[in-house]
């Protein structure tokens, strides 16, 4: 009997603890702003390390609200300043920098206090890391990625537009990264579903045929006249 | 023989004439079906004639469209140092002044509307597009005129390339300033605001100061916490505000200038005081006919809400508001 009462008591306590959890906040936030591309995935030496990679935007670097080294932060801001004031040319002619960010391993979680230091692993010769970024680019967009190392822009090992808005980049090392796309890509107005668009092919064809028929008739007429 | 040749010549001439007519008519159809540059050509808007069920519609030239944005930022407007700014467009509405029937229609767009938007990269240059929530369109650029133009372009493209004549983007603090400038705005509060602001009670009440901001901005812990419900509140507020604004404008000669000066640090606009005065003089007496929003579905994305406008309903709405049938 005593055990039964204890058990019921425990169940009652558990129920009172669970109820607030069940009545938890159902609020769904609205999107604020995209502070640099999200990292969908990262793989180094066959190991998934997406949680260890951090993308730092200009704004985050300025606020120091990011888990990267001071040197990395300063370098990113320095590059941005030079690009903004024109003292540095964009890394690729004819291309616009869509995103300029720092890509690093999280200092506290994955470098200083980590059992396995991925930064040291990446520093070894021949080791690369593949990071998939959610850039939101169209399937047809050509993306060129450059890293800024030792005062110069360098190519990365490989860039793949995955066709779903994400881009996978293979790096030999981390540093300021520029995601570049071709300049002057204008946004066309949305599709109207206008049937006249389809009819236009007919009208063009009709116009061309009319012109051709006129030319033929004129030529024939001149031959008859001769 | 001669007679036969003559008949052939006449027939050829007639055929050539017919073919010339066909060629010219085809050329005209091509011109009509492609691009019609409207009076806002300098802004690069491209409006097209649209054909539905054999009826051609052309963009109306007798409407004036003003884009009003509510930016999710407090304090005076400030340019961002970076090429992205934190000011999402939490509220986006078009005031459509119709000269034909002297009325104003307010088209409010859901900030979570999923659409294609231009991206501004480093240096403010066009860097392709991004498919996401409408609110993000204002976050590209410095948060000033460039961001407003980006949102103007985004909304225009979404609505078949309609012309948007002016814009006004305001930080949150501008709401309370404008609210109090018109002597407070009366609304019918139907949601429970007790967890947010106990001074906002159900029923008819006149909002003052911060109450106005909370009424139009807050959805957390208010009612069903959905953006759609917040839009309904915003619609009611805008309609009531405009009526009060019009009344004050006509009754107080200094009202426009005084209010403009008070609110200027908190807004980004391409309207000078003269422009606003002209707009008020011209459209100030127009009755607010309706406040509408595109129908669609609000769904939960990976992390955030996403609103997908119903294509057919949107098409009908665009034609009704911005186009007229060719007679």
User: Which of A25, A27, A33, A57 has the most B C-beta neighbours within 10 Å, making it the best mutation to test the interface with B?
Assistant: A33
**Mean pLDDT rounded to a whole number for chain B:** 90
**Contact assessment for residue B261 and residue B272, using Cβ atoms and an 8 Å cutoff:** no
- Over range B4-28, report the average pLDDT: 86
CB contact under 8 A, A96 and B125: yes
Q: Which residue of B has its CA nearest to A164?
A: B131
Q: pLDDT exceeding 90 applies to what percent of chain B?
A: 68
Percent of chain B with pLDDT strictly greater than 70: 94
To the nearest whole Å, the CA of B272 is away from the closest chain A CA by 29
Q: Return d(Cα A94, Cα B126) in angstroms, integer.
A: 12
Q: Give the closest-approach CA distance of B61 to chain A in angstroms.
A: 19
Q: What backbone phi and psi angles, to 5 degrees, belong to B143?
A: 95, 5
Sort out which chain A residues have CB atoms less than 8 A from B129's CB and list them: 138, 185, 187
Is B15 within 8 Å of A217 when comparing Cβ atoms? Answer: yes
Contact A58 B121 (CB under 8 A): no
How many Å lie between the alpha carbon of A70 and the closest alpha carbon of chain B? 18
pLDDT digits (tens, 9 = 90+) for A73-114: 999 999 999 999 889 999 999 999 999 999 999 888 788 877
Q: Which of B82, B229, B314, B317 to mutate to test the interface with A (most CBs of A within 10 A)?
A: B82
Chain A hits for B125, CB-CB cut-off 8 Å, are 96, 183
Q: In whole angstroms, give the CA distance from residue B129 to residue B150.
A: 11
Best residue of A23, A36, A138, A190 to probe chain B, by most B CBs closer than 10 Å: A190
Please tell me the predicted confidence (pLDDT) of residue A11. 65
Instruction: Quote the CA–CA distance of B40 and B49 in Å, as a whole number.
Output: 16
Q: Say yes or no: B277 and B293 in one domain.
A: yes
Residues B104 and B145 occupy one common structural domain: yes
What does the pLDDT read at residue A1? 75
Between B56 and A63, residue with greater pLDDT: B56
User: pLDDT at residue B116 above 80?
Assistant: yes
- Same domain (yes/no): B15, B70: no
Tell me how close the Cα of A155 comes to any Cα of chain B, in angstroms.
Answer: 19
Burial of A95 from C-beta contacts in 10 A (0-12 / 13-18 / 19+) = buried
Query: Are residues B14 and B143 located together in one domain of the fold?
Result: no
Residue A222: the pLDDT is 86
Chain A hits for B46, Cβ within 8 Å: 189
Tell whether B137 and B179 lie within a shared domain. Answer: yes
User: In the predicted model, is pLDDT for residue B140 greater than 90?
Assistant: yes
Q: Which residue of B has its CA nearest to A211?
A: B23
Residues B22 and B77 in one domain: no
Pick out chain A residues at pLDDT < 70.
5-7, 9-25, 184-201
Give the closest residue to B67 by CA, choosing from B283, B219, B270, B222: B270
User: Taking residues B57-83, what's their average pLDDT?
Assistant: 93
pLDDT value at position A194? 43
Interface test with B, best of A26, A30, A135 (most B CBs within 10 A): A30
User: pLDDT digit string (tens) for B217-259?
Assistant: 999 999 989 888 999 999 899 989 988 998 898 898 889 899 9
Query: Quick check: A199 and B33 CB within 8 A?
Result: yes
3 state SS for chain A: CHHHHHHHHHHHHHHHHHHHHHCCCCCCCCCCCCCCCEEEEEEECCEECHHHEEEECHHHHHHCCCCCCHHHHHHHHHHHHHHHHCCCCCCCCCEEEEEEEEEEECHHHHHHCCCCCHHHHHHCCCCCEEEEEECCCCCCCCEEEEEEECCEEEECCEEEECCCCEEEEEECCCCEEEEEEECCCCCCCCCCCCHHHHHHHHHHHHHHHHHHHHHHHHHHHHHHHC
| Distance of residue A52 Cα from the nearest chain B Cα, in angstroms | 20
In chain B, whose CA is at the least distance from the CA of A58?
B82
Number of CB pairs, chain A paired with chain B, less than 8 A apart: 195
CA-based nearest residue in chain B for residue A90: B122
CA distance, residue B118 to nearest chain A CA (Å): 6
- Residues B28, B45, single domain; the answer is no
Cβ contact B27–A97 (<8 Å): no
* Residue B135: pLDDT band with limits 50, 70, 90: very high
CA distance A6 to chain B (A): 38
All residues of chain B having their beta carbon less than 8 Å from the beta carbon of residue A84 are: 122-123
CATH number at residue B106: 3.40.630.190
pLDDT at B108: 95
Q: Is a pLDDT exceeding 50 seen at residue B37?
A: no
pLDDT of residue B42: 46
Report whether pLDDT(B67) > 50: yes
- Domain count for chain B: 2
Q: Quickly tell me which residue has 């540095």 as its tokens.
A: A88
pLDDT digits (tens, 9 = 90+) for B181-202: 999 999 999 999 999 999 999 9
- Is residue B164 pLDDT above 90, yes or no? yes
Domain that holds residue B1: 1-34
B196 in the same domain as B108: yes
Tell me what pLDDT residue A16 has: 53
Which has the closest alpha carbon to A43: A34, A53, A35?
A: A53
pLDDT beyond 60 at B126? yes
Asked if B304 and A213 come within 8 Å (Cβ–Cβ), the reply is: no
Other Cβ atoms within 10 Å of B103 Cβ, number:
15
Which residues of chain A does B136 touch, with a Cβ-Cβ cutoff of 8 Å?
31, 33-34
Answer whether residue B275 shows pLDDT above 60: yes
- B233 and B165 both lie in a single domain: yes
The yes-or-no verdict on residue B44 having pLDDT over 60 is no
Q: How confident is the model at residue B69 (pLDDT cuts 50, 70, 90)?
A: very high
Residue A185 distance to chain B (closest CA, Å):
5
pLDDT at A117: 81
Q: Across the interface, which of A30, A138, A186 has its CB nearest the CB of B305?
A: A30
Same domain as B78, residue B15: no
Does B58 lie in the same domain as B9? no
pLDDT at A121: 85
Tell whether B4 and B46 lie within a shared domain: no
Q: Which residues contact B284 (CB under 8 A, 6 or more apart)?
A: B246, B249, B250
């Amino acid at each position: 009997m005593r055990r039964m009462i204890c058990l019921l008591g425990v169940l009652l306590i558990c129920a009172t603890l669970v109820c607030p959890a069940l009545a938890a906040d159902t609020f769904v936030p609205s999107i604020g702003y995209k502070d640099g591309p999200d990292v969908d995935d990262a793989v180094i030496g066959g190991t998934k390390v997406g949680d260890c990679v951090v993308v730092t935007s200009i704004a985050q670097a300025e606020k120091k609200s990011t888990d990267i080294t001071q040197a990395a932060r300063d370098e990113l801001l320095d590059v941005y300043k030079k690009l903004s004031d024109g003292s540095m040319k964009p890394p690729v002619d004819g291309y616009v920098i869509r995103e300029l960010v720092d890509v690093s391993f999280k200092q506290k979680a994955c470098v200083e206090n980590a059992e396995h230091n991925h930064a040291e692993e990446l520093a070894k010769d021949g080791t690369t890391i593949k990071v998939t970024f959610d850039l939101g680019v169209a399937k047809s967009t050509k993306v060129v990625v450059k890293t800024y190392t030792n005062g110069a822009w360098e190519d990365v090992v490989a860039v793949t537009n995955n066709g779903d808005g994400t881009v996978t980049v293979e790096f030999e090392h981390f540093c300021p990264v520029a995601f570049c796309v071709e300049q002057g890509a204008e946004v066309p107005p949305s599709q109207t579903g206008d049937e006249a668009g389809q009819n236009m092919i007919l009208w063009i064809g009709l116009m061309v045929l009319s012109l051709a028929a006129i030319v033929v008739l004129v030529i024939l007429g001149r031959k008859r006249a001769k | 023989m001669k007679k036969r040749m003559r008949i052939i010549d006449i027939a050829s001439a007639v055929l050539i004439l017919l073919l010339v007519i066909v060629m010219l008519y085809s050329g005209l159809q091509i011109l009509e079906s492609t691009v019609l540059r409207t009076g806002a050509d300098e802004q690069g808007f491209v409006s097209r004639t649209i054909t539905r069920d054999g009826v051609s519609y052309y963009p109306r030239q007798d409407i004036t469209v003003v884009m009003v944005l509510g930016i999710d930022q407090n304090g005076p407007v400030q340019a961002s140092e970076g090429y992205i700014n934190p000011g999402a467009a939490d509220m986006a509405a078009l005031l459509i002044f119709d000269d034909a029937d002297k009325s104003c229609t307010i088209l409010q767009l859901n900030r979570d509307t999923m659409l294609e938007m231009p991206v501004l990269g480093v240096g403010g240059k066009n860097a392709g597009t991004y498919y996401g929530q409408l609110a993000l369109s204002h976050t590209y650029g410095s948060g000033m005129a460039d961001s407003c133009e980006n949102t103007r372009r985004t909304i225009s493209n979404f609505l078949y390339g309609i012309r948007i004549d002016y814009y006004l983007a305001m930080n949150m603090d501008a709401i309370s300033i404008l609210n109090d400038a018109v002597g407070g705005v009366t609304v019918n509060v139907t949601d429970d605001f007790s967890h947010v602001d106990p001074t906002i009670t159900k029923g008819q009440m006149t909002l003052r100061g911060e109450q106005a901001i909370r009424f139009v901005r807050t959805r957390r812990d208010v009612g069903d916490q959905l953006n759609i419900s917040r839009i309904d509140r915003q619609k009611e507020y805008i309609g009531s505000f405009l009526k009060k604004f019009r009344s004050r404008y006509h009754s107080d000669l200094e009202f426009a200038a005084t209010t403009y000066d008070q609110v200027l640090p908190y807004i980004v606009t391409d309207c000078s005081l003269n422009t606003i005065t002209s707009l008020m003089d011209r459209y100030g007496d127009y009755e607010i006919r309706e406040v509408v929003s595109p129908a669609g579905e609000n769904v939960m994305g990976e992390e955030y809400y996403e609103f997908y406008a119903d294509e057919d309903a949107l098409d009908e709405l665009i034609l009704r508001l911005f186009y007229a049938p060719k007679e």
